[in-house]
Amino acid sequence: MSIKSPIVYKVLDFFLKKIELFLRKKHNAGGELSVYSELYILTKRADLLLKALEITGTPDLRIEIAKLQEKCKNQAKELTHLNNTLRCKNIALDAYHHVWCNGGCHSGVHRYDKLGPDTVTQEIVDTAIRNTDRLKTWFANWQYKTKDKKV
């Protein structure tokens, strides 16, 4: 049997799928896979395909490897973008003095902007209360103004 026969490809594909399934179970014990896990699995699969390519020398595997490598690059870019977006959102929430934990813990406020809880003063708390009261008043007025338009 030639190393380039269709049976060899089917067996190789079968084992690659089994290995990928094993990696998925090993890397993430149940539930949805994170982007990091997917990236790890795709990288491992690409490595295995490269080894198989060295044995068989087939162009089909080269195409699949190129697709997997492109997918890895795209997921890495997406992951970087999502991390940057989340960081910006968290810093913005800290700027609004978002309370992450109301138990008095050290990371309860200003968790991401590195200013720490010492920057929160009674004046800031009073301003936040005043702003929240203004928001409640605005919302009540908005509802009153728009209730006639909704009917």
Encode pLDDT of 82-94 as tens digits.
Answer: 888 988 888 888 8
Instruction: Please tell me the predicted confidence (pLDDT) of residue 142.
Output: 92
Instruction: Please tell me the predicted confidence (pLDDT) of residue 38.
Output: 67
Round to whole Å and give the CA distance between 17 and 120: 54
Instruction: Please tell me the predicted confidence (pLDDT) of residue 10.
Output: 66
Q: Are 68 and 49 in contact (CB under 8 A)?
A: yes
Instruction: Please tell me the predicted confidence (pLDDT) of residue 2.
Output: 44
Instruction: Please tell me the predicted confidence (pLDDT) of residue 59.
Output: 63
Round to whole Å and give the CA distance between 139 and 141: 5
N-terminal to C-terminal alpha carbon distance within the chain: 78
Instruction: Please tell me the predicted confidence (pLDDT) of residue 93.
Output: 85
Q: Single out the residue of 24, 22, 19, 73 nearest to residue 47, CA to CA.
A: 19
The stretches in the chain having pLDDT less than 70 are 1-13, 15-16, 18-39, 49-62, 150-151
Instruction: Please tell me the predicted confidence (pLDDT) of residue 1.
Output: 38
